[in-house]
Amino acid sequence: ETGVTQSPTHLIKTRGQQVTLRCSSQSGHNTVSWYQQALGQGPQFIFQYYREEENGRGNFPPRFSGLQFPNYSSELNVNALLLGDSALYLCASSLVHSGELFFGEGSRLTVL
Amino acid sequence: GENVEQHPSTLSVQEGDSAVIKCTYSDSASNYFPWYKQELGKGPQLIIDIRSNVGEKKDQRIAVTLNKTAKHFSLHITETQPEDSAVYFCAASKGGSYIPTFGRGTSLIVHP
């Protein structure tokens, strides 16, 4: 059984640029969620996808967008990067209506 | 929306001692309370969870208690070991979407 994998693991961008982060769900999982974790904080919910549609969204602006593909892999896109977007971005997969989240190791984004 | 408070932010114990981490939540409709452990450089991993129809749950050295009236829940770790050193997050969510709101985390340090 393959766990949740994320890429890239680290990346550096400058203000105003755009970034795409990728996630492969754990085998058999049909739901994927994205979280932003600032240093010393708990994960903050960005959005969730189920059957390729957004199934819930946290308090993040529209420049945070996502996709889920038929194989349940997912992308997180962030446009017009701000310094405050620097964080660890975590992807988690799960079965719909199941509470347990399976997290990847995250993508560390630094915005200069 | 839901608000989860977690204390303490840092907890330092000697190997073999017990550790207790406490959380409170604000939304009385929350009914699922997971605890995640995050080791350095890794994503959070579920260690135990409890649902609102249960007051206590144990799994070897780990136990969680829930007081619905007071809206607080706690994680208890007995006979701590150095490998228990990590950041622990509590969370609260409602059945259906199971989208958790996380606390800010507790850094547990177990000294050999």
Among positive and negative, which fits the CA dihedral B20, A100, A60, A112? positive
Q: What is the 3-state secondary structure (H, E, C) of chain A?
A: CCCCEEECCEEEECCCCCEEEEEECCCCCCEEEEEEECCCCCCEEEEEEECCEEEEECCCCCCEEEEECCCCCEEEEECCCCHHHCEEEEEEEECCCCCCCEECCCEEEEEC
| Res A1: pLDDT | 55
CA separation for the pair B57, A29 (Å, rounded): 26
The verdict on B34 touching A (C-beta cutoff 8 Å) is yes
The alpha-carbon gap from A102 to the nearest alpha carbon of chain B, in Å, equals 7
CA separation for the pair B75, B59 (Å, rounded): 11
CA separation for the pair B54, B90 (Å, rounded): 17
Query: Residue ranges of chain A with pLDDT lower than 50?
Result: none
Query: Residue ranges of chain B with pLDDT lower than 70?
Result: none
| Res B1: pLDDT | 85
Residue reference for tokens 């507790």? B106
Q: What tens digit of pLDDT does each residue of A34-61 get?
A: 999 999 999 999 999 998 999 899 999 9
Of B43, B93, B101, the CB nearest to A105: B43
Residue reference for tokens 């446009």? A79
Q: By CB neighbour count within 10 A (0-12 exposed, 13-18 middle, 19+ buried), where does B40 fall?
A: exposed
| Res A2: pLDDT | 67
* ∠ Cα A106 A39 B27 (to 5°): 90
Does A101 contact B103 at a Cβ distance shorter than 8 Å? no
| Res A83: pLDDT | 97
The verdict on B53 touching A (C-beta cutoff 8 Å) is no
CA separation for the pair B50, B48 (Å, rounded): 7
Chain A residues with CB-CB distance to B104 below 8 A: 40-42
H-only helix segments in chain B = none
Does B93 contact A42 at a Cβ distance shorter than 8 Å? no
